[in-house]
Amino acid sequence: MTLPLIKNFVNGEWIDSTSTTTGDVWNPATGEKIATVPYGNSEDVNKAVQAAKDAFWEWRATPPLTRARYLFRLKDAFEENFEEIARVLTTEQGKVIDEARGEVRRMIENIEHATGVTTMMTGYTLEDIAKDIDCYGHRQPLGVFAAIVPYNFPGMVAWWFLPYALVTGNTYIVKPSEQVPMTQTKIFEIVEEVGFPEGVVNMVHGSRDVVNGLLDHPDIKGISFVGSTPTAKYIYQRCGETGKRVQSLGGAKNVVTIMPDADIDQAMPSLITSFFGCAGQRCLSGSILAPVGSVIDEVREKFIAAAKAMKIGNGLDESVAMGPVGSAPHKEKILGYINKGIEEGAELLLDGRDCKVDEYPNGYFVGPTVFDKVKPEMSICSDEIFGPVVSMVNPQNLDEVVELVNSRNYANASCIYTQSGAVAREFKYKAHPSMIGVNIGIAAPMSFFPFGGYGNSFFGDIKGHGREVFQFFTDMKVVIERWF
């Protein structure tokens, strides 16, 4: 059987990459090849940038409300195709179908927020800044922007940026992860139906060569990147060298704290989804479980029981609680970390290494895995594993919690479960991560608040979505005016 060959979307048309290098796309639940993706090159990038550049001036001169109307139509079209997008997403990424639906919903919420452009893009003005002189600033789009995105959210992440770039009058290029190119392809079929002017929105598939082509191109004004910390640092440095705007979101190692006064039964469902949702492959996944003092005994017992009860399988099956991890190499990496945790002396309470799903013997399944007696200096407590592996530590008080959280290499998100407002306040005040949950396991800001971390989890200053992203995609032009 010939597998579908993924195409680029440039200047309103589906075209083949000029590269002959390709990769395979796999269904992680079945271990079957499902498509072939081109590993594009700088020629592909140049075509897309030229199309986006040619489209810019007319799109920029289109009234903001008219630009927003394209997004209203797109929202309706996404609603109509909601379930289909979610199913493609689960098929190539592995997450359970309900999570895929949640991802599509978050994608649409960014479109909804971006339609507020006529309020969000306005500038400000002051008369008489000196005798007979007035001053005003208005926000102008800059040209061609691009997004480079990761495999764990094949649909949503590009849409943390794209709607805002378009609605402010820029033109755009998306570079999906080569591991999961099919979801964005499905999404762009819908984009095509909505009928944006040619060249306004484009997609180029590939890996490093496409990324470098975007970074090197003088007509790209800015890059939004989401992925692992080493790549995020590379993107940030290269954008500095080539003078591009950049927002570069990296990896995570999130600590979830349970204070002794927390209601454990109430917390348990959100703890389980925090650690095992998306098979631990979220930048907001819990990775370190930190029950404080003697509450560890109750948390350990209930957490292990709930983890054991999870049904593992193909995410398209509605009864499944956790799907496979994203790829065969990634499964090996996770198993390597489990072995390392044992070597480092942590106690393996729940071992997911031999997880088998009878109907899918070739799927990349790793079962829920829980280590106890983990020390902060162990690699399983410092490195981003990005799988369903939990490192349990036992701080004795809030000071030790804050020390643990702030000494990790990353500072993306952190959560605390407590009934004390004073404890929660101290935690919010002192912990470094930028996204904080209080009695919430996955502190995922919605589209109208900024998404992004601190330290090695984020490089730049304006984060994903939220109000500030309208600034990332515009330049404030200040006019100082005097008339005689």
What is the C-alpha to C-alpha distance for residues 34 and 28, in angstroms, rounded to an integer? 10
Pattern 335-374, ligand NAD, x by CB under 6 A: ----------------------------------------
Decide if 283 is catalytic: yes
Helix (H, G, I), strand (E, B) or coil at 232: helix
What is the C-alpha to C-alpha distance for residues 310 and 324, in angstroms, rounded to an integer? 13
Residue with smaller CB distance to ligand NAD, 153 or 364: 153
What is the C-alpha to C-alpha distance for residues 161 and 418, in angstroms, rounded to an integer? 34
What is the C-alpha to C-alpha distance for residues 248 and 232, in angstroms, rounded to an integer? 5
The answer to whether 371 touches 346, Cβ cutoff 8 Å, is yes
Q: Contact with ligand NAD (CB under 6 A): which of 25, 178, 257, 275?
A: 178
The least distance separating ligand NAD from the CB of residue 160, rounded to whole angstroms, comes to: 8
Which candidate, 441, 79, 96, 140, places its Cα nearest to that of 287? 441
Q: DSSP strand E in 69-176: where? A: 124-130, 133-141, 144-148, 171-175
Is 462 a binding residue for ligand NAD by CB under 6 A? The answer is no
Pick out residues in 465-484 that bind ligand NAD (CB under 6 A).
none
Q: In the complex, which residue's CB is closest to ligand NAD?
A: 227
Pick out residues in 396-435 that bind ligand NAD (CB under 6 A).
412
Pairing outcome for strands 220-226 and 245-249: parallel
H helices present in 148-294, as ranges: 162-167, 181-194, 208-216, 229-242, 264-276
Q: Contact with ligand NAD (CB under 6 A): which of 208, 311, 375, 428?
A: 208
The answer to whether 314 touches 30, Cβ cutoff 8 Å, is yes
The least distance separating ligand NAD from the CB of residue 207, rounded to whole angstroms, comes to: 4
The least distance separating ligand NAD from the CB of residue 208, rounded to whole angstroms, comes to: 4
Q: For the CA atoms of the chain, what is the radius of gyration?
A: 23
Helix (H, G, I), strand (E, B) or coil at 285: coil
Q: Contact with ligand NAD (CB under 6 A): which of 26, 337, 386, 459?
A: 386
Pick out residues in 237-266 that bind ligand NAD (CB under 6 A).
249-252
Is 228 a binding residue for ligand NAD by CB under 6 A? The answer is yes
The least distance separating ligand NAD from the CB of residue 412, rounded to whole angstroms, comes to: 6
Residue with smaller CB distance to ligand NAD, 104 or 149: 149
Is 185 a binding residue for ligand NAD by CB under 6 A? The answer is no
Is 384 a binding residue for ligand NAD by CB under 6 A? The answer is yes
The least distance separating ligand NAD from the CB of residue 244, rounded to whole angstroms, comes to: 14
Reported as type and span, the H/E element at residue 55 is helix 42-60
Is 207 a binding residue for ligand NAD by CB under 6 A? The answer is yes
Residue with smaller CB distance to ligand NAD, 223 or 355: 223
- Among residues 135, 239, 278, 283, which one is catalytic? 283
Pick out residues in 117-176 that bind ligand NAD (CB under 6 A).
148-153, 157, 175
The least distance separating ligand NAD from the CB of residue 452, rounded to whole angstroms, comes to: 6
CB atoms < 10 A from the CB of 333, how many? 14
Give how many residues touch ligand NAD by CB under 6 A.
28
The answer to whether 139 touches 475, Cβ cutoff 8 Å, is yes
The answer to whether 346 touches 372, Cβ cutoff 8 Å, is yes
Q: Contact with ligand NAD (CB under 6 A): which of 8, 110, 177, 257?
A: 177
Is 283 a binding residue for ligand NAD by CB under 6 A? The answer is yes
Residue with smaller CB distance to ligand NAD, 30 or 231: 231
Is 107 a binding residue for ligand NAD by CB under 6 A? The answer is no
Residue with smaller CB distance to ligand NAD, 208 or 428: 208
Residue with smaller CB distance to ligand NAD, 365 or 451: 451
Q: Which distant-in-sequence residues (6+ apart) come within 8 Å of 103 by Cβ?
A: 86, 89, 95, 153, 155, 156
Place of tokens 């940030």: 236
Q: Contact with ligand NAD (CB under 6 A): which of 457, 460, 470, 471?
A: 457
Residue with smaller CB distance to ligand NAD, 59 or 145: 145
Q: What are phi and psi of 127, to 5 degrees?
A: -80, 160
The least distance separating ligand NAD from the CB of residue 234, rounded to whole angstroms, comes to: 6
**Numbers of helices and strands, H then E, in the chain:** 15, 22
What is the C-alpha to C-alpha distance for residues 222 and 207, in angstroms, rounded to an integer? 18
What is the C-alpha to C-alpha distance for residues 188 and 11, in angstroms, rounded to an integer? 12
Binding site for ligand NAD (CB under 6 A): 148-153, 157, 175, 177-178, 207-208, 211, 226-228, 231, 234, 249-252, 283, 384, 386, 412, 453, 457
Catalytically active residues are 283
